Structure 1
Amino acid sequence: MHIQLKNSIVSVDWLQEHVHATNLIVLNGTIPKVVGDTAQQETQQIPNARFFDIKKVFSVLNAPFPNTMISVEAFTEKAQKLGINQDSAIVVYDELGMYAAPRVWYMFKSMGFDNIAVLDGGFPAWRAAKYPVEAKIPFEGKRGDFQGKDQLYLFKNYPEMLQTVANDATIILDARSEARFTGNVPEPRAGLRSGTIPTSKNLPYTEVLHKNSFKSKEELQTIFSAFNTKKTPFTFTCGSGITACILALAADIADYTSYYVYDGSWTEWGSVHR
């Protein structure tokens, strides 16, 4: 049985019901914990999950800013190595609940691939439902035939952000916490100044979530309409381009169709713009 995903999020119950679909691929999009973190590392996964390594595989290594999006050619090559096909139906989850998985969703969208959804509630919700888990194993299956299509315009770069700010072309929403947005607490990255992108407004990513799951479509529409009554395009930003994608996914759920993510986010803007 082949499946076509109709929504950008799916529940753990839906995933368990469709786990045997022949074109289903489950990706674990968790960002590994930082060095020195003493928290216990997760040793189990949803059955047959494949690790989508944002940091070490699907970002430009040695780039001046973290999580820099890779080229269409590089993404295609690495996705094929994960056994992803043109007709795959992808569900991506996060061990932390809801953090980096929307970044994976958005990356695939920038490759012209839409048959992908995020697991609402992530691995904690899967565990809470007492669905099967297995020990983590590296993917060793056959190569896929995935072919990315260039829609990288969905990621804005620094020159485009300068133009966006100057022309007030979109509504810029910053997903960082209010304390970071206002500069009341320092940025977590050493040497990075506090501040905000001119004209931007603050919508902490936690505001679109209830615990690890997204709020309802109606609640999200209310949240976004408070910033945007005319459905002007949004540009989402954060610290390094991860939680901005949570806002992008929330906007998608709320039926917005025009939105962008600033790939470099505040790490780039705060470093190069004075």
Structure 2
Amino acid sequence: MVLKIDKSVVSVDWLFKNLDNQKLIIFDATILKVTAKKEVSSDEKQQIKGAFFFDIQKTFSDENAPFPNTVLSAKTFEVKAQQLGINQDSCIVVYDDLGIYSSPRVWWMFQLMGFTNIAVLDGGLPAWNSKNYPTEKPINHSPKKGNFIATYQSEKIKCTADVLSFIKSDSFLIADARSKGRFLATEPEPRNDVKGGRIPNSVSLPYSEIVENNLMKSEEDLRAVFNKINPKNKDFIFSCGSGITASVLALGAEIAGIKNHSVYDGSWTEWGITDGLPIENN
């Protein structure tokens, strides 16, 4: 039976109700925060029953790129998605162990590749565990090759040259998902080779401000947050450290009904390393 998702997030109750649907694919997209001290050991790790691991950093990022979490080409993404058993009629739910952190990055990547029947599990594993819904030790899956086809949506992504050209634009607003301290350069960057500061004319919107108790804020509250920083209704460009939490802002904008938004893939890591780019830090 075809399973269609009409929202960008689904509840744990919805997922539990549809857990046995043959079209459903569940991805655990957990990654370690760049500021985290240690990983969960393999003996402690649990996944939602039937979930596959979606490896953002190794399998679904360009490891030959100079910056972390660089998106793959459409063709490479297509091949790797097929290897995970994804079909054109699949329904994907993606989550992470931290509630809302890395899972929106996977949601955004599939949006970039033209696949929209995907949602983030609101609250992630903590919300799932709060209901005592079934989990299991990670299992090595060998899925049958899928027929997923990527249809690249170039308007959803920006590169450094784009951002540089839009700094003084009346049509775009750059919103930064990093902490306020990193935005103001009063806190050090977690990567030693990255300068402190921010992109000129950007505004601060820490991703934590649109998440509450591991859940995305309501549509009404999200709309208020975005309208407050963007009263002129400019097109959003979302940035962060390396493209992960910028995707949380993209998810929030989508929930709020905002369609004109994109992610700066290199984000501050690329901007803060690249010589010759303007930086504000006071």
Task: Indicate yes or no: 2:21 matched with 1:21.
Answer: yes
For 2:269 and 2:6, locate their aligned partners in 1 and report how far apart those are by CA, in whole Å: 34
**Partner SS, residue 94 of structure 2:** strand
Question: Alignment RMSD, CA only?
Answer: 1.5
Structure 1: distance between partners of 2:25 and 2:178: 31
Compared with structure 1, are the counterparts of its residues 38 and 234 closer, same or farther at alpha carbon in structure 2 (3 Å cutoff)?
Answer: closer
5+ residue gaps, structure 1, are none
CA contact (8 A) 1:231 1:256 kept: no
Shift of 1:152: 3.3
TM-aligned CA deviation for residue 32 of structure 1: 4.3
Aligned to 1:248: 250
Identity %: 50
Counterpart Cα distance in 1 of 2:35 and 2:207:
24
Q: Which residue of 2 aligns with 1:69?
A: 71
Q: Equivalent of 1:120, from 119, 122, 130? A: 122
Residue 271 (structure 2) aligns with: 269
Query: CA–CA distance in 2 between the matches of 1:98 and 1:75?
Result: 23
Deviation, structure 1 residue 229: 2.5
In the alignment, is the contact (CA less than 8 A) between 2:34 and 2:190 conserved in 1?
no
What aligned pairs does 1:101-116 form with structure 2 within 5 A after superposition?
101-116=103-118
TM-score (norm 1): 0.96
Deviations 1:209-265 (A, max 9, x none): 102101111111111110122432111000100000000100001000110000000
TM-score normalized by structure 2?
0.94
Give 1:259's match in structure 2, choosing from 258, 261, 272.
Answer: 261
Amino acid in structure 2 at the alignment position of 1:5: I
Following superposition of structure 1 onto structure 2, how do residues 1-274 of structure 1 map, counting pairs within 5 Å? 1-32=1-32, 37-41=37-41, 42-272=44-274, 273-274=277-278
**Structure 2: how far apart are the matches of 1:35 and 1:193?**
16
Cα offset, 1:69, TM superposition: 0.6
Report how many aligned residue pairs link the two structures.
274
Using the TM superposition, give the Cα deviation of residue 51 of structure 1 relative to its aligned residue in structure 2, in angstroms.
0.8
Structure 2: 5+ residue stretches without partners? none
